[in-house]
Amino acid sequence: MHYYEDPQSREKKLTRDFVDIHQSTLCQVLGLSQGDKIVVELQKSRYGASGDVDIAVWKNPNSENERLIGIEVKSLFLEDGGKFKSEKLLKHNKQIKALVKEGWDCVYLFDFIVTKPASGWFHPQAFEGYDNYRKTVEGEKSGHVVFQINAVAGKPESMAGSISHKILQEAKAHGAKDGRLKIVEAFKSFDFSFSSVIVDSV
């Protein structure tokens, strides 16, 4: 099943596939290196909040350059005519503000544009999503990255097709927050000895 066919669980599948299959792209966007830790669907109850963080990153753990990065994942479906289906221009800002308030050093919106599969390897809408994209994030310190996934007919996106990205705004550190130490303790509660990537699903 392609991403566009499953709107109910699209963002969860996208998030897991992105961290698993396209981890090199994640590392490139955030400047990650060996030793950095990633938690998918981090349960906020671990640090006293509600909900989950789609992608949580502990960059440069236990160092002077340590960064706690919280990422909100959203998705858009690009229709054949070039318009986005059910485009919600502002909904993401509520989640972004919550991450900042909770104590994350840096926060990002990762927005994924998904398309119907093309019959050939070159997708006719390869760049159309970027051209028509209109979302913005509130605040000059919040990061914003757009990805477009171009699928190939007959194959799931995890096996074929392409992914590209465009950084619209780099994230900047928000400064020390009261909840920061609790987030660090949440990361420390995981056993990263076998893998630097953990799925914290319930």
Per-residue pLDDT tens digits for 122-153: 655 666 777 888 888 888 899 999 998 876 66
Residue 164 structural domain: 3-199
Range 177-201 burial, b when 16+ CB lie within 10 A, else e: beebebbbebbeeeebeeeeebebe
The model's pLDDT over 5-22, given as tens digits with 9 standing for 90+, comes to: 666 677 888 899 889 988
Amino acid identity, position 109 = L
Count of domains forming the chain: 1
pTM: 0.89
